[in-house]
Chain A
Amino acid sequence: MKILQEKLDFLLSKYSVETKATLKDCKTAVIGGTDTPLLSHRLERRFIELKNIVGGGTLQGVSVMRVARIVEKGADIFAELYRELDICEYILGRKIVGITAMQNDNTLNVIATAEDKIVCTIEISATLSEGETPKDKHEIISQRGIACDVVVDAQLKQASIYVFGAENKKFTDVDFELYGLSVEDIAVVRSAFTIAQKDTKAEMIALDSNLKILVEKAKASVKTGERQVI
């Protein structure tokens, strides 16, 4: 967290942002004295571009958004659902209005309906070994085109660099200003910085509140086996 704070301070100083921002963890920062949810995934460039493609008219007549995410054993699947529901709402630019969920221990499958009757499917599992990086895929299907963060005919995302030497390594570097940080850590720093710079604390708190309601509805659906309307 120290390195992330250093990078955040660097950005705040470089761009002359006077609001104080202190990272508590990867999900929360104290910004201008207020605990603020970061929703850092919104700052991942892949999601920003997917949102631009959907909202900018590249895709027309959106029908379905499909999400799959697999994370380490022990992770909170409902925290992952919180993240993925927000990604759906963010990319589609629409609110979730209904949710149905099925759970089996550390696996969770959800169908959520958004405004305009768009259907989102979200498949989550916490089944990977410790230390394994999350595997995920986000795909939007429309009357005119499909957008996805995984290349066609592949199951996993590619890295930017593969090293085959004494030790095999791979790297994915996506931010020159924050060079050296992982994709996820970059998003955390960028998120805290953007909230401080644009003063969007209230918006983030409202989003967090809405997402918590959605997650509670999903939990209720798991118990009842029926669709919950928001």
Chain B
Amino acid sequence: MKPLKIAMMSMTHGHTRKYYQTLMDNPKLNWVAVATANDEVKEIFLNNVKGIPCYDSETEMLDAHPEIEAVVLASENSDHLRQMKLCAERGIHILSMKIPTFQMDEYDEMIEIVEKNNLVCQIELEMHYNPVIARMKELIASGEIGKIKSFNATNITLSPVWAFHWQGVPEKSYGKRVPIKEGDTRFRGGALCDHPHIFDMIRHMTGSDFDSIYAEVAPNIRPDIEEEDMLSVIGKMKDGTIFSLDPSWSKMEERLKVPGPGWEVFPKRMEVNITLNGEKGTVMADCFGPNIYHNGCPNDRYTVQYTYFDEWIGLIDEFVDNIRNKKTPLINLKWHKRTIEAMNAVYESIATGKAVKL
């Protein structure tokens, strides 16, 4: 198979660095170029990757490399629609970050652009390429615990806003400035916008869709950011499965400008744990474990050192396969729309204090 000529745009998203190794190593890819959004991310990129042409402008890059077949939109949420249009004009396939947009009019426009131009637009929900998730799906399919009755999951991390500033700006993260609820000084765009995975995974694991959602926002553990960082979500799927989801930024961090060793204040920077309670029993899973532990440099703090972060290999393999063999991505814009609608319902529930029916 001919290697896919791929590029990256913006390089401002927290997942940008996850692609470096895969784009260099995957024999199905030919990494052509990148376009950086500002000098800060340009410097970080040039310090990490050698030999890939780096441009200050997206159009300059696309003009200089008409051979580009696909682009990873490693950008803030508010840039996605504009960049999708730019790619679509040139017939370039798209790998979008996990939140294409929270604005549903923009979302519908994205679907229209992609369909009209016959493009592959895959959404980066990398948990589907995690081996623990693969085992969970297998256990569910084999009937190990029977029909699922409740799905309880965490997708909790430290806050990335100090390194990836746009995630702390409501207009860039959520798409506009919307108060989280009356009488509250915070705005939409925080932890929830960073953590769609468990909202997506419950749909895959139950084969059902959201019926009702209730959510509460808790006092921030970072009082100096203007978005929510702690929230809790419960609800029911159309098949009766109840759920409890925690998409918080509940792990405290050092305020590093570039993520690296010593980022953690709490020993563990990230967790995706899922508990499925079924007719015949319970399955508990830690999607990123077991790990190793140290209390070495730079802060001598006890720290969880992860041992597995290879989700981007499978994700890119699927992306190439989708383009070369004209397949629809597992996580495509249409599928993902209901996940985004559910996440918007979380904000609506917080704002109204009521359960939201979907």
Is B267 a contact partner of A102 (Cβ separation < 8 A)? Answer: no
CB pair A107–B234 under 8 Å, yes or no, is no
The answer to the question of A160 belonging to the interface, with a C-beta cut-off of 8 Å to chain B, is no
Question: Is A129 on the interface with B (CB-CB < 8 A)?
Answer: yes
How far, in angstroms, from A156 to B275 measured CA to CA in the complex? Answer: 12
Q: Are B244 and A109 in contact (CB under 8 A)?
A: yes
Interface string of B224-249 (1 = CB under 8 A from A): 00000011101110001111101010
User: Which A residues are in CB contact (< 8 Å) with B289?
Assistant: 153
CB-CB contacts of B281-302 with A at 8 A, as 1s and 0s?
1101010011101000000001
Give CA–CA (A98, B93) in the complex, Å.
48
Does B155 reach chain A (CB closer than 8 Å)?
no
B220–A70 CB distance below 8 A: no
Contacts of A101 in B (CB 8 A): 234
Q: Which residues 158-201 of A have a CB within 8 angstroms of B? A: none
Answer whether A104 and B149 are a contact pair too, CB < 8 Å, given A146-B266, A155-B286.
yes
When distances are taken between beta carbons in the complex, the residues of chain B under 8 Å from A104 are: 149-150, 236, 240-242
Tell me whether B282 and A109 are in contact (CB under 8 A).
Answer: no
Which stretch (A4-12, A32-40, A61-69) binds chain B?
A: A61-69
For A111, the chain B residues whose CB sits under 8 A away are 214-216, 232, 234
- Contact A143–B223 (Cβ < 8 Å): yes
Task: From known contacts A63-B219, A153-B291, A227-B353, infer whether A128 and B230 are also in contact, taking CB-CB under 8 Å.
Answer: no
Question: Is B212 interfacial (CB 8 A cutoff)?
Answer: yes
Q: Tell me whether B96 is interfacial, beta carbon within 8 Å.
A: no
Knowing A66-B246, A102-B214, A107-B277, the reply to whether A121 touches B234 (Cβ < 8 A) is yes
Q: Are B284 and A155 in contact, CB atoms less than 8 angstroms apart?
A: yes
CB-CB under 8 A for A141 and B241, given A104-B150, A127-B281, A227-B353: no
Chain A interface: which size bin?
35 or more
Q: Which residues of A contact B217 (CB under 8 A)?
A: 119
Q: B150 near A110 (CB under 8 angstroms)?
A: no
CA distance A149 to B302 in the complex (A): 17
Contacts of B250 in A (CB 8 A): 63-64, 141, 146
Indicate if the CB atoms of A125 and B150 lie closer than 8 Å.
yes
B273 within 8 A of A: yes
Who on chain B is nearest to A153 by CB? B304
B residues touching A (Cβ–Cβ < 8 Å)?
A: 145, 149-150, 152, 212, 214-223, 230-232, 234-236, 240-244, 246, 248, 250-252, 266-268, 273, 275, 277-278, 281-282, 284, 286, 289-291, 293, 302, 304, 353-355
